[in-house]
Every structure is written in structure tokens, then in C-alpha cells.
A and B are shown apart, each in its own frame.
Chain A
Amino acid sequence: MSPEDIQLIVALCRQRAGLKVDPARTYLIESRLGPLARRESYGSVSELIAGLRARREEPLIWALVEAMTSPETAFFRDREPFARFRDEILPTLSRMRGPETIRIWSAGCSTGQEAYSLAMIAEAGVGVETGAKVEIYGSDLSERCIEKAQAGLYNQFEVQRGLPIRQLVDHFEKVDENWRLSPRIRQRVRWRRLNLAGDLSQVGRFDVIFCRNVLCDLDEAVRPRVLEGLAAALPADGFLVLGADESPLGLTDAYRPITGRDGLFARNPAFRVAA
């Protein structure tokens, strides 16, 4: 890749999806775009970029931007946020909401492990004594990730990173050498492709938004807007769950921290959504 190629990739990712791509990490760029180049029948990433310059086709541009997102995820990743969801957030919400449906959004869900982890907790029914329905929604920028999430099919390595064995035998069936989530769990989650840097005013209402390890991959300039877009989707008593070392403080006054709960934020009731 030439410096001009890298500049084009960095610029497209920033313009289209607010993604921050470090131009110095050429190895990362090559490894993320290599599979796309092969799928599109180019001999190399350089040839892919040359093709992109020549054709400037929207689907190819988006395929490139989507391929640059981080696919890193795992079932019950970091454990703590899920224990907190089960033991604190769900019981609190079900007390406040009564029999009303509780809606959870996994924003930037990659291949779906986070959304399915939440669905397995909801399926166990603990913390929701009111019998309220818990609906889970997963969104990601990458169409390919959403397709994989929807299929609910994971390899042996993926089901051994974070997933307790009891959950594996309770909720998955073995299909050849892979593992597929049961229809019960799959039916709990709805999926859509969504650009968090785009217009979020029509996404709907969610009681809890998980958006973990997503902000860190976004350009600093778009982070406040994304956080405020998420806040607008939360009711006044809703929660935002970020990565353990991520925070909206200093970027927007839409949230307030919850003492002693790293990565957990409540919507600031004083925050007004811009008209």
C-alpha cells in the first residue's frame, strides 16, 4: 500500500462511519482488508484500493469501511458487566417498569456474542420477578458481522472464550464441528445494520444500551455526537454500559457516573435532547 492508499482508507473510514484508523498500523489495515480483497478477486489490498479509485462504487466503499471495524468480542466478555446486568440492572428496571417490556440494545455488537449473552441471562429469568418480557436488539456497522450474528453459529474456539460449559450444553447444539444457539435464544434477539455515526433519531427507545469498546475505535470528534444520540434513545431512568475504561464524562453532560460501577452510567435527567 502506498501512503496515498492509506490516506484514502483513513479518510473513508472517518467520513463514512467516524472510525479512527491509525495510518501507522499498516499491518492491521492489511490484515483486515486482505480477506475483502480476496473476496472481490483482487490480487492484493493495493489492487483493491486501485479498483476502488477507478470505480468509486458505494457498495465497495462500504465493504471496505465495514471490514475495518474491530471484530473483537466474546461471550460474557469481561464477565463483570453481565453479572451486574443480571444482579443489579435487570432487577432495578423490572421494579421500575412493572410488567412493561424491557428493551436492551447491544450497539456495535460485532458477531453477536454480547447480545446472545444478554439473551441467555434474560432466558434464565432471574431478576425479572414481574415476568416482564426482555427484548434484545443487536446492531453493527458490518453487514457481514450481522449475518454471522443472525446465524448464531460459532466455532469451538469462540464458544470456549467466556462461555461457561453449562451454558454451552443448555443453549447450543453441535452442528458438525461448530455450535449453533438454540432457536429459543436466537428468537430473543433482533438484528440490524446500523451506523452509530449516522442519524440515530429513529432507532427507538431502549432501557439499557451496551456500547462497550466501540467509542475507543471512533474518532474523538464524533464521540460526543454518538453518546448524545444514544442518550436520546434512553428514557430518563435508562442506563448506558461502556467498556470498563471508557467514560462519557468530559465529552457530554448527557450522563452521570454511578459510583463504584466502572463503565456504568445513568442518563442525566437534566440532559435535554437537542431538537
Chain B
Amino acid sequence: MKTCLLVDDSRVIRKVARRIVEDLGYEVAEAADGLEALAWCRAAMPDVILLDWHMPVMNGLDFLRQLRGEPGGGAPHVVFCTVENEPARIREALAAGACEYIMKPFDGDIIQAKFAEAGLITREGIAA
């Protein structure tokens, strides 16, 4: 089963996102900040990471930059999911290695559409 790591400091957001991502066919793990997420990735690199930007301890952008420098850290598809919606910040995230970008608030349709754009799911389900 493909795995998706949800990284967000809000337990409510993680709960909502977990339900949506599980419905898309992923096995889900959660982290509350970038440092916790890095620990997860070092133990078992996920296929997809849904990543908040503003978090305590280590924010999403710093996490992403560090991840991309780690062994195997280039592999996961990283989809930002944040209230940050300034074009300059979005470009910064893409330059750091994000594949797609969701502006909060989100719903199931948006996550599904964005996962499809990142090539993660097709009409039939999870992409091979």
C-alpha cells in the first residue's frame, strides 16, 4: 500500500485530511511539525507528503529543503497544504521541490484534483 505522511500542527486538520487521503487509498502517518516529519522520513520514506507551511519547531519549507538533501529524500511527492497564498511564496515552495500546492481551506475535491495533477491518482485509483 502506498503511504502518505500528513504534516500539520493542527490535529483537526490532520483528522480531516486523514479521512480524505485514506479514501484515496493511502496508508496514512501523521507528524505535527517538520522535525517530527523528518524523523518519520528517515525511518520510512513515504510516497506522498501533505505539508503545512507554518508550524512550530520546524516549518514546512525548512523541512522540504532539508528532506530534498537527505538520502532518498528526492523521491516523495510533496504537496503543500497551507493558508499561505501569495504567488511569491508559492514560487518559493515550488523552487524548493514541492510538486503541487493546496491553498487552505481545502476539501476532498481539491485534494483529489491536486493528487491527480501530481500524477498520484488516476480515475481508476492510485497511479502505479
Q: Chain A interface (Cβ within 8 Å of chain B)?
A: 74, 79, 156-157, 160-166, 168-169, 172-174, 177
- Nearest A residue to B91, CB-CB: A169
Identify which of A161, A163, A169, A173 contacts B94 (C-beta below 8 A).
A169
Whether A160 pairs with B103 at a CB distance below 8 angstroms is: yes
Q: Let me know if B47 is at the binding interface, CB within 8 A.
A: no
A160, B101: Cα distance in complex, Å = 9
Known interface pairs A79-B116, A166-B94, A169-B94. Does A161 touch B109 (Cβ–Cβ under 8 Å)? yes
**Which one of A160, A165, A166, A172 has the highest number of Cβ atoms from chain B below 10 Å of its Cβ?**
A165
Q: A81 to nearest B CB, angstroms?
A: 13
A168, B6: Cα distance in complex, Å: 24
Residue of A156, A161, A174, A177 touching B113 (CB-CB under 8 A): A161
Minimum distance in angstroms from B106 CB to a CB of chain A: 7
**How far does the alpha carbon of A165 sit from the alpha carbon of B99 in the complex, in Å?**
8
Residues A160 and B113 in contact, CB atoms below 8 Å apart: yes
- Considering the complex, give the chain B residue whose CB is closest to the CB of A177: B85
Q: Return the chain B residue nearest A168 by Cβ.
A: B90
Contact status of A161 and B91, CB under 8 A, knowing A156-B103, A174-B85: no
B117 part of interface (Cβ distance < 8 Å): yes
Give the distance to chain B from A72, nearest Cβ to Cβ, in Å. 12
Extra pairs beyond A79-B116, A161-B113, A169-B91 (4, CB < 8 Å) = A74-B113, A156-B103, A161-B110, A169-B90
Minimal beta-carbon separation of B96 from chain A (angstroms): 13
Could you name 18 residue pairs across A and B whose Cβ atoms are closer than 8 Å?
A: A79-B116, A156-B85, A160-B102, A160-B113, A160-B114, A161-B109, A161-B110, A163-B117, A165-B94, A165-B98, A165-B101, A165-B114, A166-B94, A169-B87, A169-B91, A174-B85, A174-B87, A177-B85
> 1/0 per residue B79-104: CB within 8 Å of A?
00000011100110010001011110
Query: Beyond A160-B113, A160-B114, is A173–B87 a contact (Cβ under 8 Å)?
Result: yes
Point out the residues of chain A lying under 8 angstroms from B114, CB to CB: 160, 165
Give the residues in chain B near A177, CB-CB below 8 Å: 85
Give min CB distance, A165 to chain B, whole Å: 4
* CB neighbours of A169 from chain B (8 A): 87, 90-91, 94
**CB–CB A160/B87 < 8 A:** no
Give A174's nearest chain B residue, CB to CB.
Answer: B87
CB neighbours (8 Å) of B117 from chain A are 162-165
Other-chain residue from B86, B87, B110 in contact with A157 (beta carbon distance below 8 A): B110
Q: B residues within 8 A CB of A164?
A: 100, 117
Whose C-beta in chain B lies nearest to the C-beta of A244? B123
With both chains docked as a complex, state the minimum distance between the C-beta of A161 and any C-beta of chain B, in angstroms. Answer: 5
Q: Which residue of A lies closest to B99 (CB)?
A: A165
> Are B86's CB and A160's CB within 8 A?
no
Residues of chain A within 8 A (CB-CB) of B91 are: 169
- Which B residues are CB-close (under 8 A) to A174? 85-87
Whole-angstrom distance between the Cβ of B39 and the nearest chain A Cβ: 28
Contact of B106 among A160, A163, A168 (CB under 8 A): A160
State whether A165 and B90 are in contact (beta carbons under 8 Å apart), knowing that A157-B110, A160-B103 are contacts in the complex: yes
Q: How far is the CA of A177 from the CA of B103 in the complex (A)?
A: 11
Return chain B residues, CB-CB under 8 Å to A79. 116
List the A side residues contacting B87 at CB < 8 Å: 169, 172-174
A173 to B88 alpha-carbon distance, docked (Å) = 11
Q: Bound complex: CA of A164 vs CA of B115, how far in Å?
A: 10
Please indicate the chain A residues that have their CB under 8 angstroms from the CB of B102 in the complex. Answer: 160
Q: How far is the CA of A168 from the CA of B103 in the complex (A)?
A: 12
